[in-house]
Structure 1
Amino acid sequence: MSKRILVYGVTGAGKSTLAARLGERLGLPYHSIDDVMWEPGWVEVPDDVQRDRIREICAGDAWVIDAAYMKWADVVLERVELIVGLDLPRWVSYGRLVRRSLTRLVRRTEICNGNRESFRNLFLDRNSLLVFHFRSWGRKRARMRQWHDDPDFPETVLLRSPAEVRRWLATF
């Protein structure tokens, strides 16, 4: 059984949900990368501090994380045993992202270190998650498919629909 797992995919694909469920089912510690990257008030943690935090998590014998940003992905990829790629159609992940974000906005749900979604962050900011999804979808999809096809890479499972994700998770 793999004890160091990366769940990878575009924003809104369900990485955090799947990673938390995997951690729970397998008895592995789950680490939310948003909590590593953001301080209260949406203050981004400096890159070197992020890298140190990721290095500390990955030094452990067992973990599940829900992202790998390229500025420190090398740290994760050196230690990961299994990559689970959420290679969902754009309409699925974008629909989930919109629904999740609007629900959080209306309910004022706290996320990553007490931060909350705001109208400005979602719709007016040029770096909004809704915009970021479109900018990153193709790149992340290509990356996980490349990892899957590379025999020198750790085992990479690609899940292409919510039904595939449910069936795969049921095997644990």
Structure 2
Amino acid sequence: MEMQKINVVGTSGSGKSTFSQKLAKTLNYPYLEMDAIYWQPNWQESSDEEFMAALNSELAQPNWVLDGNYNRTISVKWAEVDTVIWIDYSFPRTVFQAVKRAIKRSLSGTELWAGTGNIETFQKCFFSRDSIILWTLSTFKSNRKRYQAMFADPQYQHINFIRLTSPKKAQGFINQHIQQQQQTA
């Protein structure tokens, strides 16, 4: 089965963005980041209507790699998806990656999504109720349960589900597709 429309999911900090970007580049598909679609300037959230309209517009392309969870969007993003890749690394690894990313982003002050002015600060990452690290800690277990249930749910039997449980397996998946691209070139 050839992958055309791919959603990469996983807990915040799991490495889905890094993986998604590599996969999109390998397949020569557009990379779509749900956070970039959702977040407006000054950390303002899009309304559901705005978010769903923007997401529908982005997903109108013939192929893509979509990075992100946003469970309320499943009816939209999985309507035509053919593959869902779950980045499901261990809890310690995911937390380590989330902390490392938070420190890196806090120190760099890099804008997360072009034109939004949104940056992560040390205060926001480590001493706020909106902390991405707290979010990772509090959602890891529930995300795992939810994706296990979804992978087994008959209403999603049309989707090719792939679970990658280590960076080595994720890189192997990318390498496999690089080899396939080279063989067809």
Tell me the TM-score normalized by structure 2: 0.87
The Cα offsets for residues 129-170 of structure 1, whole Å up to 9 and x where unpaired, read as 111112211121122222333452401000111111111111
- Alignment gaps of 5+ in structure 2: 178-185
- Matched residue SS, 1:61: coil
Question: Which residue is equivalent to 2:18?
Answer: 17
Q: Which residue in the other structure is 1:117 paired with?
A: 120
Per the TM alignment, residue 70 of structure 1 is displaced from its structure 2 partner at its CA by: 1.3
Letter in 1 for 2:34: I
| Distance in 1 of aligned mates of 2:125 and 2:170 | 27
Instruction: State whether structure 2 residue 91 is matched by structure 1 residue 86.
Output: no
Secondary structure of 2:72's counterpart equals coil
* Distance in 2 (alpha carbons) for counterparts of 1:75 and 1:20: 21
1:128 to 112, 128, 131: 131
1:154 to 148, 153, 159: 159
Higher Cα Rg: structure 1 or 2? Answer: 2
Q: Which amino acid aligns with 1:98?
A: V
Cα RMSD for the two superposed structures? 1.4
Structure 1 contact 147–153 (Cα < 8 Å) conserved:
no
Letter in 2 for 1:47: D
| Percentage of pairs with the same residue | 26
Contact 2:36–2:113 under 8 Å retained in 1 = yes
1:167 aligned to 2:162?
no
Task: Mark the runs of 5 or more structure 1 residues left unpaired by the alignment.
Answer: none
State how far apart, in whole Å, the 2-side matches of 1:22 and 1:48 are.
29
Q: Give the Cα separation in 2 of the matches to 1:77 and 1:146.
A: 15
CA contact (8 A) 1:148 1:158 kept: no
Q: For the residues of structure 1 that align with 2:85 and 2:132, how far apart are their CA atoms? A: 22
Within 5 Å, give how 1:18-167 maps onto structure 2. 18-113=19-114, 114-150=117-153, 152-167=157-172
What per-residue deviation string (whole Å, max 9, x for no partner) do you get for residues 64-123 of structure 1?
A: 111131121210111111000011111111101100110111121221233211123112
Please, what TM-score do these two structures have when normalized by structure 1?
0.93
